[in-house]
Amino acid sequence: MKLHALALAACLLAQTAAAPRLTFDVISIHPADPNAQGGRIKPIPGDHGYTAQNFPVRMMIALMYKIPARQIEGAPDWINNEGFDIEARADGPHSVDDLHTMYQNLLVDRFGLRFHHDVREGNVYALTIDPSGLKLKPNTSPEDDQIPVNGNPAHTTGVRVPMPYLTWFLSLLLQADGRPVVDQTGLTGNYDFTLSFRPILPPDAPPDALPPEQRDLPTLFDALRTQLGLRLTATRGPVDHLVIDHIEKPTPN
């Protein structure tokens, strides 16, 4: 029995040792032109990586670790107000999850990112299943390399969306409220949906800021309830804060 256990442990260790660390094959990083306007990050066609133009590191961390930017703490000012131009390319196509892991490793290797999580009670939106019943369509297809949520508020489509991604997406939409969305649905699968809601504007926006065809759309809260069978409730709950212990500007290459 002991020999069997030792053999199994050795096998598991060998499998672990054989698993390669996911990294990009080619990485180029340069400080962006300080006079550049706007910034963006987008996938490289064929799912080979990402290119970033004048993109701040705080937003990279928020995107790749799926955490609202306001919950990133302990960082120097330059991660907010200095942009970087980055090309991170893999030799072959990869899934979205693998590409995110590669970018996380890029942040560790090139920016020296070190952090810890601090979970504290705070104001949240609890995402639950509405009493009217769930209207999401289960999707049991194999993992693919597509971005799960696409489109604009008037016509947002979700394909093979897990709850962690949906709560992160909703947290971004509601970031002005200062309440991250916490999953309390108990759903563990992937789902398809179509969502149409009135774009969320700043509180001081004029009434005519939206085009006429969007003014009669339901609020995000109503759309979630009637179209997806989900409910958002303002309450108190655990809030995950990503606290940066160390980060440094990378050496350009």
Domain extent listing, the chain: 20-118+241-246, 120-202+210-240
Q: Which two tokens stand for residue 132?
A: 């009217």
Distance of CA 163 to the CA centre of its chain: 12
pLDDT at 147 over 80: no
Give the residue, 3 or 19, on which the prediction is more confident.
19
Alpha helices for the chain (secondary structure H): 2-18, 57-65, 78-81, 96-111, 163-173, 212-215, 220-223
**CA 249 – CA 179 distance, rounded (Å):** 30
Q: How many CA atoms lie within 13 A of 175 on its CB side?
A: 11
Written as one letter, the residue type at 114 is R
Q: At 209, is the pLDDT very low, low, confident or very high (cuts 50, 70, 90)?
A: confident
Specify the pLDDT at position 1: 45
- The model's pTM: 0.76
Specify the pLDDT at position 7: 52
Q: Average the pLDDT over 78-94 and give the result.
A: 95
Q: Which two tokens stand for residue 1?
A: 């029995």
Q: Average the pLDDT over 169-173 and give the result.
A: 91
Q: 186, 127 in Cβ contact below 8 A?
A: no
Specify the pLDDT at position 11: 46
Q: At 207, is the pLDDT very low, low, confident or very high (cuts 50, 70, 90)?
A: low
**CA 192 – CA 46 distance, rounded (Å):** 23
Specify the pLDDT at position 145: 63
Q: 28, 87 in Cβ contact below 8 A?
A: yes
Which long-range contacts link 146-151 to residues 24+ away (Cβ below 8 Å)? Answer: 146/96, 147/43, 147/96, 148/96
Phi, psi angles (nearest 5°) of residue 223: -65, -40
How would you classify the pairing of strands 149-152 and 137-138? unpaired
Q: Average the pLDDT over 139-156 and give the result.
A: 85
